[in-house]
Amino acid sequence: MQDSLRLLYGPATMCIRVLLIEDENEIADFIVRGLREESFDVHRSADGIDGWQQTA
């Protein structure tokens, strides 16, 4: 996916930010690791209220 996005938008100047809201630590860790390996900028929250505050 990242390769096709680079073709569309250019190299290395692109940063995709992801806010993951997940209360299960093991699941969240797995997803965060995978996204970061693909060069996504990942922020994590354990609940919706905190996640909402992070968007402000």
Cβ atoms of residues 48 and 19 within 8 Å: no
Number of structural domains in the chain: 1
Asked whether 41 and 11 are in contact (CB, 8 A), the reply is no
pTM, rounded to two decimals: 0.70
* pLDDT single digits (tens) 4-55: 666 666 555 668 999 999 999 999 999 999 999 999 999 999 999 999 998 8
For residue 18, how many other CB atoms are within 10 A of its CB?
14
Residue 43 domain boundaries: 2-55
Q: In angstroms, rounded to a whole number, what is the distance separating the alpha carbons of residues 9 and 19?
A: 21
Contact 46, 20 (CB under 8 A): no
Residue 2 DSSP SS3: helix
